[in-house]
Amino acid sequence: MVARPSPPGRVANALGQGSLGTTGSSPCRISPVDPVLQPYFPSPHGPQHSHRHVRDCQPLKYGNVTHEAWPSDNSTAGPVATTRTFVSYVPPEGEDRRAIYGHFTFVRNPLRTFSVLEPGGIGGCQAHRRATVEETARLRRCLVAQNGGYFDMGTGECFGNVVSDGKLVRNSGGLQNAQFGIRKDGTMVFGYLSEEDVLDEANPFVQLVSGVVWLLRGGEVYISQSQLAECSDTQTTGTFDKFINVISARTAVGHNSQGQLVLVHVDGQTESRGVNLWEMAEFLKQQGLINAINLDGGGSATLVLNGTLASYPSEHCSFDSMWRCPRNISTVVCIHEPSCEPTDCSGHGTCVQGQCRCAGAFWRGPACDILDCGPSNCSLHGVCTDSCTPGFYGAACARECRCQNGGSCDPVHGACSCPAGYHGTSCEQECPVGWYGPNCQERCPCEHSCPCDQETGSCNITSSQLNKAGQCLASQSKGRSKEKFSLSEKTWITTTSVLALLLVISAMGNIGLFFKARSERRHEGGDYLYQPLRKMNGEASPTSSLAAWETEDAQDQNQALL
């Protein structure tokens, strides 16, 4: 922010007046509302009569036309805008003449280089936002920026009609104040508009801002007629007269005979420096302007060049009354590098320094909206579209695709993109078992690596695919049988452990029984008596008796060994 010292001896006087109050984050001192630069104070902004009243009260030579239209310059040679600083005298001669200073900005091709901006960016009017010209200009990268339309000093509400870059931000409902706008075809419009004019869709406004007082109409001062058009209520006539006749900082927008848009800024301070509207109109007429309207002025008058404050603000900074700071204001008129038309390059390119750079191999033209399919209308292979007719590719779509099974080829190189279920350089092969989808890029999610539907990947394969799935289905059935009758690994381990434990217990029991039996036999062996067989079975031969005894003795020995 740049602050400049005020002239000596005028600080105290300025502290008490101020053209308009201020709120927001500006470092300016909050000064009392100055009704002198509020044309309708204390009534609501704007006249209360209709557009018909304006039409009926204007001079007969204009007929029913309440505005002037002028074709704008559309040249691209030279810089976008030229700003010139002036120091002049008003009136030009006489003892009462005084020096005035300010800037003229001459703008080429305003259809592409001029914009009306909402305060602080998009949505500023709806939010009743206020911001300095520097802040708003920075967002849009404005080369030149000035304050624009009027606004409510208490609420921040934007007054009048506002169209910003083709978007209707605010409709005043037919309020009859001087307007400036640019239509879609580049026509500049100055004057009074009906609501129907504002909402016209045949040739809509792409930029529109409202001022107060039509300064020049057709090269002639139009203030008297403008006063009748914009102030018919006798209760506000006195206020409106003061608004016109007081000297102050002023801003205006107009055009010259070459169709160049002209922004005008005059430095000043209400009732101390600057010009009144009569002087402003005469000065613009002398500079060759044809039509011009007055925009917000006084403490709102601000000029920013390349992001830097270039004007002398009339309001005092809050941190030190010696310095001046710019006010938070409403809409801004902005000069910027040319934008593309349309801004999105018809959706077929990108905007680079005001020129559309078309994308792809088929779109041409300044707006990337001309479809160029090559010679002989696509080589007689179809209707010209942004891609070749299916089945053809290459320059002028002259080469035939080799893709099979419904595959599509790249319109430039001819590479095949295979549909679901096929792969190969020409989409000639079906997906191998276990794969599916376009170009067979997806693996089947089925269990046991079973095949799936080659197009959808579904594991519920059709009967035509059962032959391919024979081995897999057999494996699947076997697996299901095993799952049905077998036990889990944990169950097997548990069962085996139990059986092993039982086996060990059984073995130990058998060993215990064995040692018990042996002990019992040894105990009974001490009382064992041998009875001759002859006593039990009768007489026997000595030989038989001896043999029997030997047999029994041998058995006893065997048992002893055990």
pLDDT tens digits for 320-355?
A: 888 889 999 999 999 999 888 777 888 888 887 778
283 or 361, higher pLDDT: 283
Backbone dihedral angles phi then psi of residue 53, each to the nearest 5 degrees: -60, -45
Residue 522: both structure tokens together: 């040894």
* pLDDT on residue 127: 95
Strand segments, DSSP code E, in 218-267 are 220-221, 250-256, 261-266
- In our burial notation (b when 16+ CB lie closer than 10 A, e otherwise), range 540-550 reads beeeeeeebee
* pLDDT on residue 231: 79
297 or 342, higher pLDDT: 297
Helix intervals (H) in 309-362: none
* pLDDT on residue 534: 52
Please report which confidence band the pLDDT of residue 362 belongs to, taking 50, 70 and 90 as the band edges. Answer: confident
| In the chain, % of residues over pLDDT 70 | 76
Task: Output the CA torsion sign for 484, 489, 490, 493.
Answer: positive
Helix (H, G, I), strand (E, B) or coil at 520: helix
| In the chain, % of residues over pLDDT 90 | 42
- Residue range 126-148: average pLDDT? 95
Q: Is the pLDDT of residue 479 over 90?
A: no
For residue range 39-88, list pLDDT tens digits in order.
887 778 888 888 998 999 899 999 999 999 999 999 888 899 999 999 99
Q: Is the pLDDT of residue 559 over 80?
A: no
Please report which confidence band the pLDDT of residue 394 belongs to, taking 50, 70 and 90 as the band edges. Answer: confident
Q: How many helices and strands, by DSSP H and E, does the chain display?
A: 13, 32
Distance between CA atoms of residues 222 and 212, nearest Å? 12
- Residue range 164-181: average pLDDT? 94
- Residue range 215-223: average pLDDT? 97
Beta pairing, strands 289-295 & 250-256: antiparallel
- In our burial notation (b when 16+ CB lie closer than 10 A, e otherwise), range 246-259 reads bbbbbbbbbbbeeb
Distance between CA atoms of residues 517 and 507, nearest Å? 16
Residue 353: both structure tokens together: 């320094």
- Residue range 383-402: average pLDDT? 72
- Residue range 401-421: average pLDDT? 85
Q: Are 426 and 403 in contact (CB under 8 A)?
A: yes
For residue range 527-549, list pLDDT tens digits in order.
545 555 555 555 544 444 444 44
- Residue range 98-124: average pLDDT? 95
* pLDDT on residue 92: 86
Mean of pLDDT over the chain: 80
Q: Is the pLDDT of residue 249 over 50?
A: yes
* pLDDT on residue 387: 62
* pLDDT on residue 71: 96
Q: Is the pLDDT of residue 20 over 50?
A: no
Distance between CA atoms of residues 117 and 161, nearest Å? 12
517 or 207, higher pLDDT: 207
- Residue range 207-213: average pLDDT? 96
Q: Is the pLDDT of residue 515 over 90?
A: no
Strand partners, 435: 443
Helix (H, G, I), strand (E, B) or coil at 182: strand
Please report which confidence band the pLDDT of residue 376 belongs to, taking 50, 70 and 90 as the band edges. Answer: very low
* pLDDT on residue 126: 94
* pLDDT on residue 15: 29
Q: Is the pLDDT of residue 283 over 90?
A: yes
* pLDDT on residue 196: 94
